[in-house]
């Protein structure tokens, strides 16, 4: 392998991480109303940087690399953006900007007050989550990834308990305890790897790892820790109360984006560090947990009486799809993980779920604010008074179900094709049953919302049209994401 050097445009990666964190510091230092202004400015800059990174990678056809301080690996630390990282950076930037636009109505500092706690915390932590996620995507070594993961946790946990009620504090504490368990297991695995191979750089490790007991133990510890953070069944118990109890804009961030950070790290580990080490049974186990998540999450979602809890349990199920790709990517001939159609399907699912789930939580938030409750039984006739939100919720749901031309359709198409090509029909069956169950709870809401005989409910509060518009825009984005099949999928393979 040629020694890595900083590529032209490599500085963009530093900016992608640094700009949100500079925003955090500025927002915190200036405080009050200025926090929101800083956040808005940072979002515009960050979106521009994300687009520039994608353009640079697409133009050069190779990964962007930046060596911090000019020190080469293994002494120094490299930031590296391949196709996977670029796709995630772009998706996160779009969703964060959408969430920022949505949250303006909920987290404005009230007039006459110099500074309010919830808005200040929300805007600073939103930027912190963004910077941490970008760091997760571009980090080239396992310890930097650990720090990024911890930053992500510290930024995400307080968002759960923004309203300060006992119920949400409990949910936040439970989330934090799961996350701490996960990160300490990850760190333990990292130490073991350093002890055996003397490096934590992903590219160097990939060339050195051997299937020996210490490596397997490290891989198992790190994966288990990350599963706890990603809330894969059966480690999902913290997720529904945390995601359903948070304010809608925070739920959209947590459910759409934050869980993707630790999931992305599992992908990095399995595909980039341990592709030769992972065994077929372990990949089947991961997908088996995913299948259990799909079935249990969907069935429990169907039984929920409240809309936000239903959407949260739907996240539990959708996380399952993210793990189905591992055995499908296993090349039967070489017994090695190959990043082909299955990996593209998994990535596509992550992006499509990020946009769709953010839109659904936003729509659920609008409905909650308008009615003063989110009991599904009490939604009759809501389609007549909040048509845009119901449409956004439905389009998001349709993308989760996987109808064309949605991103969910393309993701499932790629995963199904990989399942057929590798002869693993049982995962195809799980995907189809999961799609049916998802359709069940989406239609359950839709049937209530569009009930013809029902009297339209009175709205308790006026709804900002901008919030409905943002939810619809993200849902439409998820709906049309499948069209990138014609142009954008090759981006994923760059630099791999």
Partner 1 sequence: MTDAATLFGLLAAALVGIGLYALIVNPQPLRKIVAFNVVGNGVFMLFGAIAHRGAGSGWGGDPVPQALLITGLVVAFPASALAIALLLRLHDVAGSATLATDAPAPVSPDGKAADA
Q: Which residues bind partner 1 (CB under 8 A)?
A: 143, 146-147, 150, 153-154, 157-158, 161, 164-167, 169-170, 172-174, 176-177, 180-181, 183-184, 187-188, 191-192, 194-195, 198, 237, 240-241, 300, 303-306, 309, 373, 375
Looking at the Cβ atoms of 143 and 413, the one nearer to partner 1 is 143
Quote the least distance from Cβ 332 to partner 1, whole Å: 36
CB-hemisphere CA count at 13 Å for 310? 25
Q: What is the nearest approach in angstroms of partner 1 to the Cβ of residue 251?
A: 16
> In angstroms, what is the minimal distance from the CB of 391 to partner 1?
26
Task: For the CB of residue 77, give the shortest distance to partner 1 in the complex, in Å.
Answer: 11
**Least separation in angstroms between CB 191 and partner 1:** 5
- Which CB, 37 or 306, lies closer to partner 1? 306
Our CB check for partner 1 shows the closer of 118 and 147 to be 147
Nearest approach, Cβ of residue 304 and partner 1 (Å) = 5
Angle at 346 (CA atoms; ends 298, 212), nearest 5 degrees: 105
Q: Are 44 and 105 in contact (CB under 8 A)?
A: no
For residues 86 and 176, which CB has a smaller minimum distance to partner 1 in the complex?
Answer: 176
- Minimum CB–partner distance for residue 64 and partner 1 (Å): 25
Instruction: Compute the least distance from the CB of residue 143 to partner 1, in Å.
Output: 6
Cα–Cα distance measured from residue 491 to residue 8, given in angstroms and rounded to the nearest whole number: 18
Distances (CA, A) of 50 to 26, 35, 90, 347, 405: 20, 22, 5, 17, 25
* Number of other CB atoms surrounding residue 434 within 10 Å: 26
Residue 172 or 416 having the CB closest to partner 1: 172
Residue (303 or 460) nearer to partner 1, CB: 303
Residue 479: cis peptide before it, omega within 30 degrees of 0: no
Distances (CA, A) of 123 to 40, 97, 226, 260, 358: 9, 12, 26, 20, 17
How far apart (Å, rounded) are the C-alpha atoms in residues 128 and 209?
33
* 484, 90 Cβ separation under 8 angstroms: no
**Between residues 54 and 125, which has the closer beta carbon with respect to partner 1?**
125
Minimum distance from CB of 230 to partner 1 (Å)? 18
- Residue 38 or 77 with smaller CB distance to partner 1: 77
Residues 473, 396 contacting (CB under 8 angstroms)? no
Q: Is 292 exposed, middle or buried (0-12, 13-18, 19+ CB in 10 A)?
A: middle
* Residue closer to partner 1 (CB basis): 237 or 335: 237
Residue 309 Cβ vs partner 1, minimum distance, rounded to whole Å? 5
Contact 179, 158 (CB under 8 A): no
Residues linked to residue 216 through DSSP beta bridges, in sequence order: none
CA distances from 182 to 177, 178, 278, 415 (A): 9, 6, 20, 28
Any residues with CB less than 8 A from the CB of 481 and at least 6 apart, and which?
348, 351, 352, 355, 399, 406, 407, 410
3-state secondary structure of 330: strand
Closer residue to partner 1, CB minimum distance, 124 or 153: 153
């Amino acid at each position: 392998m040629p020694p890595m050097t900083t590529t032209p445009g490599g500085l963009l990666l530093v900016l992608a991480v640094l700009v949100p964190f500079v925003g955090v510091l500025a927002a915190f230092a200036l405080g009050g109303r200025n926090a929101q202004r800083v956040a808005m400015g940072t979002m515009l800059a960050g979106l521009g940087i994300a687009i520039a990174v994608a353009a640079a990678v697409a133009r050069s056809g190779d990964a962007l690399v930046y060596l911090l301080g000019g020190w080469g690996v293994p002494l120094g630390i490299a930031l590296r953006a391949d196709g996977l990282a670029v796709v995630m950076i772009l998706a996160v930037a779009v969703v964060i900007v959408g969430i920022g636009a949505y949250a303006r109505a909920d987290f404005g500092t009230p007039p006459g007050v110099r500074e309010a706690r919830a808005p200040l915390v929300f805007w600073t932590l939103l930027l912190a989550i963004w910077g941490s996620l970008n760091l997760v995507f571009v980090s080239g070594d396992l310890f930097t990834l650990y720090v990024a993961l911890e930053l992500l946790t510290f930024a995400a946990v307080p968002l759960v308990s923004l309203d300060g009620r006992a119920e949400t504090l409990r949910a936040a504490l439970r989330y934090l305890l799961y996350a701490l368990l996960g990160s300490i297991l990850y760190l333990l695995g990292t130490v073991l790897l350093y002890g055996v191979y003397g490096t934590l750089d992903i590219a160097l490790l990939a060339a050195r790892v051997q299937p020996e007991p210490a490596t397997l133990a490290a891989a198992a510890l790190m994966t288990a820790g990350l599963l706890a953070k990603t809330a894969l069944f059966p480690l999902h118990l913290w997720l529904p109360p945390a995601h359903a109890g948070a304010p809608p804009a925070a739920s959209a961030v947590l459910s759409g984006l934050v869980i993707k950070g630790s999931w992305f790290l599992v992908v990095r580990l399995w595909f980039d560090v341990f592709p030769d080490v992972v065994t077929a049974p372990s990949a089947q186990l991961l997908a088996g947990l995913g299948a259990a998540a799909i079935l249990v999450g969907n069935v429990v979602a169907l039984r929920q009486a409240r809309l936000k809890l239903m959407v949260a349990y739907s996240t539990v199920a959708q996380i399952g799809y993210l793990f189905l790709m591992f055995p499908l990517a296993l090349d039967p001939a070489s017994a090695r993980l190959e990043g082909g159609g299955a990996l593209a399907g998994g990535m596509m699912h992550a992006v499509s779920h990020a946009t769709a789930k953010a839109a659904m939580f936003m729509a659920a938030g609008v409905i909650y604010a308008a009615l003063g409750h989110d009991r599904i039984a009490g939604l009759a006739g809501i389609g007549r008074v909040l048509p845009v939100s119901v449409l956004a919720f439905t389009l998001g749901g349709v993308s989760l179900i996987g109808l064309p031309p949605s991103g969910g359709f393309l993701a499932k198409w790629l995963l199904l094709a990989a399942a057929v090509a590798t002869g693993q029909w049982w995962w195809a069956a799980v995907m189809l049953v999961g799609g049916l169950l998802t359709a069940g709870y989406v239609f359950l809401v839709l049937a209530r919302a569009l009930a013809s005989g029902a009297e339209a409910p009175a709205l308790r509060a006026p709804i900002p049209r901008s919030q409905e518009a943002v939810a619809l825009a993200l849902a439409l984005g998820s709906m049309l994401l499948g069209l990138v099949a014609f142009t954008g999928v090759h981006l994923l393979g760059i630099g791999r």
